[in-house]
Chains A and B, each alone.
Chain A
């Protein structure tokens, strides 16, 4: 059995300095390290932010046109994703911008239009909204509206997202739902360091503008042996992490790890066999893998931190019921953040907690 500290996961990393009465907040999960394909060669122990640094390092080393920028990027970034890069590649390639998200993304789009590889950082996903006009009206439409004379495909925008235990309204949001609605871009969310590096490199090399959202709570808590060389993982392909027969569980980012625990509890408490899918790419999403799974199990539970109404789960649910209707034993269920702003002290009751997911599975089985 796991130790108490491990069970509580990352929220206890600095528990030693706090009193025993300190409440524990944030997504409840234990990170299960994965291993990389042996063919990818030498590995090094990295957490998620180090995996991001590694991907950026590979990019800057191999692509002379590549630059990385954003607020506080030069000294290493508030989440340490760019540590060491300025010293290694120079301040013309790794630099700070003034404090303006609309400026950062607008500037980044233009830099990509000129043909150069561009990786822009938005400090928190919660602050991406001033850039939404540039993303919705410009980046996503650049190729289409110009008859393919111009494009900003060499653009990747990175931002940390998701619950962190104490982030409240403005340091916890999951904005992927807004971006799922923009034909022309790609939206990718990794679940761990090996995934993070491969998917980020795929985004950087992708011919479309990509929005890459990093679950911030995993930056330090997710640690694996990550290949040091560059490699890409497929964009637009979901991954079945656990095969099962009774219920399909669908999630992405941090929620994948919560759902792992849910699958384990479903088996031990309910005798239910769950199949777990990590979407990995929100747009364009992998329909084939999802439909195949739900047609097999007949039951579908989608879980995401973002609020329920109009969330990405709504698109998945609509598509699943359309394509799997005759195979469904129960309605498609979503367990999501509530339709409220992300609260501070109530975080544990807001998130799609493993017990809420388990209760939903009970409903699905008993339908």
Chain B
């Protein structure tokens, strides 16, 4: 009110306004720099729209090419300096691939209800190898490689797919909805991108806890269109959350190609728009992926802010067992990526050229893996399903009386009508739970 009354009395109102709302001393009064809240650019008299199609696009970071050779002028990759880790990463990718083949086939045979493969995207194992095992992971659904790299036992994957009595999730979720607190891997949920703002929030808590860890959040090119994705990036940036966002841009969201998903330069271009340090990487080059992940993690933790990695890759498999991708993409396209450009084939070429791998080792290792997987598979298949009353626990921390009544009514019903529920023989005995 004082300012307003002063303005009213002084002659030359516009001069007075400038004086009274003058920027801090040292800045010229006549607008050479915009003073709007948050402004940081300059004025221009050149009327130019930014035409996004004129922008060449953020480059793809790559160290080793499709032939398995280090690109001319590329620095020696960190991962390549560790033979044991290289072989462990490679064998884990092979195991993921073989387990996927066996479980996919088991769905076609009617043994499990549903499955999703990671074909073409096994490189995610290299990304996981560069993390701290206690970095909290939020994922979408095609990141089993992360869980496998972290040491989740083969039978745990199968138990979940079979919804049997050893399933961590207690038989409550569809296959591939893995989760394990021991592996710092938050349980998968079907809705897309919901995990993203959660990752921002968890990272904020980690920052306050000063535990030296970051949060890693995986999502796909399709999920990046969801509102939650934008909220997640904006919150992470404004609230300085140490979360590494990793987008698996594999070209498709079920049948929707990326050309129908977005018009801008992929997902990477959105990072800087939100104020997030960003890199685009060849997701089929495990060496580049490892490098980028290490750097991103370092940035997250030293600067306490988010990072965005867009890993470019290709989804070799169908979206899921409920999909037949021949309906929307050509065999030629598929066979190119299958033969020439996927993480397994490219790493195999590099390792072979280094003298760290051979065709004999390839055959022997695959055989051993297959035998191991089939053995665990047979065990998982034999296990009984959980006691049906486990359907009622963990809804709330403690079962409320109304739900307990429903449980008791259900138990009594099943006991009275056992002969009409022959499937009960595949379950643990029906018994009330806490």
- Give every chain A residue within 8 A of B203 (Cβ-Cβ): 110
Are B194 and A134 neighbours in the complex by a CB distance under 8 Å? yes
Question: Which of B196, B201, B398 contacts A111, CB < 8 Å?
Answer: B201
Central interface residue in A149, A183, A184, by most chain B CB within 10 Å: A149
Among A55-77, those with CB < 8 Å from B are 65, 67
- Give every chain A residue within 8 A of B196 (Cβ-Cβ): 106
Does B278 touch A at the CB level, under 8 Å?
A: no
Nearest 6 Cβ contacts at the A-B interface:
A106-B197, A103-B231, A110-B201, A110-B198, A114-B205, A207-B397
What does the 1/0 interface line of B213-224 toward A look like (CB < 8 Å)?
Answer: 001000000000
Does A146 touch B at the CB level, under 8 Å?
A: yes
Does B181 touch A at the CB level, under 8 Å?
A: yes
- Give every chain A residue within 8 A of B170 (Cβ-Cβ): 147
- Give every chain B residue within 8 A of A150 (Cβ-Cβ): 179, 181, 186-187
- Give every chain A residue within 8 A of B398 (Cβ-Cβ): 207
- Give every chain B residue within 8 A of A146 (Cβ-Cβ): 168-169, 179, 181, 186-187
Are A100 and B394 neighbours in the complex by a CB distance under 8 Å? no
Are B234 and A287 neighbours in the complex by a CB distance under 8 Å? no
Does B200 touch A at the CB level, under 8 Å?
A: yes
A146 to B395, CA, bound (A): 11
Are B198 and A100 neighbours in the complex by a CB distance under 8 Å? no
Among B221-264, those with CB < 8 Å from A are 227-228, 230-232, 234-235, 238-239
Does A52 touch B at the CB level, under 8 Å?
A: no
What does the 1/0 interface line of B154-193 toward A look like (CB < 8 Å)?
Answer: 0000000000000111101100010111000011010100
Are A108 and B394 neighbours in the complex by a CB distance under 8 Å? no
Are A111 and B205 neighbours in the complex by a CB distance under 8 Å? yes
Are A145 and B187 neighbours in the complex by a CB distance under 8 Å? yes
Identify which of A91-99, A267-275, A332-340 touches chain B: A91-99
Q: State the Cβ distance, A22 to closest chain B Cβ, in Å.
A: 27
Central interface residue in A110, A111, A150, A207, by most chain B CB within 10 Å: A110
Does B9 touch A at the CB level, under 8 Å?
A: no
Does A348 touch B at the CB level, under 8 Å?
A: no
Q: State the Cβ distance, B184 to closest chain A Cβ, in Å.
A: 10
What does the 1/0 interface line of A198-213 toward B look like (CB < 8 Å)?
Answer: 0000000001100000
Are B202 and A149 neighbours in the complex by a CB distance under 8 Å? no
Using a Cβ–Cβ cut-off of 8 Å, how many residues does chain B contribute to the interface with A?
Answer: 49
Interface pairs (23), CB distance under 8 Å: A103-B197, A103-B231, A103-B234, A106-B194, A107-B204, A107-B239, A110-B198, A110-B199, A110-B201, A111-B201, A111-B204, A114-B202, A114-B206, A118-B201, A130-B227, A133-B191, A143-B394, A145-B189, A146-B179, A147-B168, A147-B394, A207-B398, A287-B402
Does B208 touch A at the CB level, under 8 Å?
A: yes
Q: State the Cβ distance, A9 to closest chain B Cβ, in Å.
A: 33
* Residue in B closest to A98 when the chains form the complex, CB atoms: B234
Does B75 touch A at the CB level, under 8 Å?
A: no
Does A284 touch B at the CB level, under 8 Å?
A: yes
Are A145 and B234 neighbours in the complex by a CB distance under 8 Å? no
Residues of A at the B interface (CB closer than 8 Å) are 65, 67, 92-93, 95, 97-98, 100, 102-103, 105-116, 118, 130, 133-134, 137-138, 141-151, 153, 183-184, 186, 207-208, 236, 284-285, 287-288
* Residue in B closest to A114 when the chains form the complex, CB atoms: B205
Q: State the Cβ distance, B392 to closest chain A Cβ, in Å.
A: 10
Does B90 touch A at the CB level, under 8 Å?
A: no
Residues of B at the A interface (CB closer than 8 Å) are 136, 138, 167-170, 172-173, 177, 179-181, 186-187, 189, 191, 194, 196-206, 208-209, 215, 227-228, 230-232, 234-235, 238-239, 394-398, 400-403
A153 to B397, CA, bound (A): 8
- Give every chain A residue within 8 A of B215 (Cβ-Cβ): 110
* Residue in A closest to B183 when the chains form the complex, CB atoms: A149
- Give every chain A residue within 8 A of B403 (Cβ-Cβ): 183, 284
Are A149 and B187 neighbours in the complex by a CB distance under 8 Å? yes
A149 to B400, CA, bound (A): 20
A110 to B394, CA, bound (A): 19
- Give every chain A residue within 8 A of B234 (Cβ-Cβ): 98, 100, 103
Q: A110-B138, A147-B394 are in contact. Are A98 and B238 (CB under 8 A)?
A: yes
Are B194 and A133 neighbours in the complex by a CB distance under 8 Å? yes
- Give every chain B residue within 8 A of A98 (Cβ-Cβ): 231, 234-235, 238
A93 to B235, CA, bound (A): 15
Q: State the Cβ distance, A29 to closest chain B Cβ, in Å.
A: 31
A133 to B227, CA, bound (A): 11
- Give every chain B residue within 8 A of A107 (Cβ-Cβ): 197-198, 200-201, 204, 231-232, 235, 239
- Give every chain B residue within 8 A of A138 (Cβ-Cβ): 189, 191, 194, 198
A98 to B235, CA, bound (A): 7
* Residue in A closest to B241 when the chains form the complex, CB atoms: A107
Given contacts A98-B238, A113-B186, A113-B198, 16 further A-B contacts (CB under 8 A): A98-B234, A106-B232, A107-B239, A110-B198, A110-B201, A111-B204, A114-B136, A118-B201, A143-B394, A143-B396, A145-B189, A146-B181, A150-B181, A151-B397, A184-B396, A284-B402
Are B397 and A113 neighbours in the complex by a CB distance under 8 Å? no
Q: State the Cβ distance, A185 to closest chain B Cβ, in Å.
A: 8
- Give every chain A residue within 8 A of B173 (Cβ-Cβ): 145
Are A115 and B205 neighbours in the complex by a CB distance under 8 Å? yes
Q: State the Cβ distance, B211 to closest chain A Cβ, in Å.
A: 9
A97 to B258, CA, bound (A): 31
Are B181 and A113 neighbours in the complex by a CB distance under 8 Å? no
A92 to B170, CA, bound (A): 38
Are B202 and A111 neighbours in the complex by a CB distance under 8 Å? yes
- Give every chain B residue within 8 A of A106 (Cβ-Cβ): 194, 196-198, 200-201, 228, 231-232
* Residue in B closest to A152 when the chains form the complex, CB atoms: B198
Are B201 and A108 neighbours in the complex by a CB distance under 8 Å? yes
Q: State the Cβ distance, B209 to closest chain A Cβ, in Å.
A: 8
- Give every chain A residue within 8 A of B189 (Cβ-Cβ): 137-138, 141, 145
Question: Which of A93, A137, A147 contacts B172, CB < 8 Å?
Answer: A147
- Give every chain B residue within 8 A of A141 (Cβ-Cβ): 189
A146 to B189, CA, bound (A): 9
Are A137 and B194 neighbours in the complex by a CB distance under 8 Å? yes
Q: State the Cβ distance, A301 to closest chain B Cβ, in Å.
A: 22
Are B205 and A65 neighbours in the complex by a CB distance under 8 Å? yes
- Give every chain A residue within 8 A of B181 (Cβ-Cβ): 146, 149-150
* Residue in B closest to A106 when the chains form the complex, CB atoms: B197
A15 to B401, CA, bound (A): 48
Are B394 and A148 neighbours in the complex by a CB distance under 8 Å? yes
* Residue in A closest to B179 when the chains form the complex, CB atoms: A146
Q: State the Cβ distance, A139 to closest chain B Cβ, in Å.
A: 10
Are A147 and B235 neighbours in the complex by a CB distance under 8 Å? no
Are A149 and B197 neighbours in the complex by a CB distance under 8 Å? no
A112 to B204, CA, bound (A): 10
- Give every chain A residue within 8 A of B205 (Cβ-Cβ): 65, 110-111, 114-116
Are A184 and B395 neighbours in the complex by a CB distance under 8 Å? yes
Q: State the Cβ distance, A326 to closest chain B Cβ, in Å.
A: 19
A280 to B397, CA, bound (A): 20
* Residue in A closest to B177 when the chains form the complex, CB atoms: A145
- Give every chain A residue within 8 A of B395 (Cβ-Cβ): 143-144, 183-184
- Give every chain B residue within 8 A of A116 (Cβ-Cβ): 205, 208-209
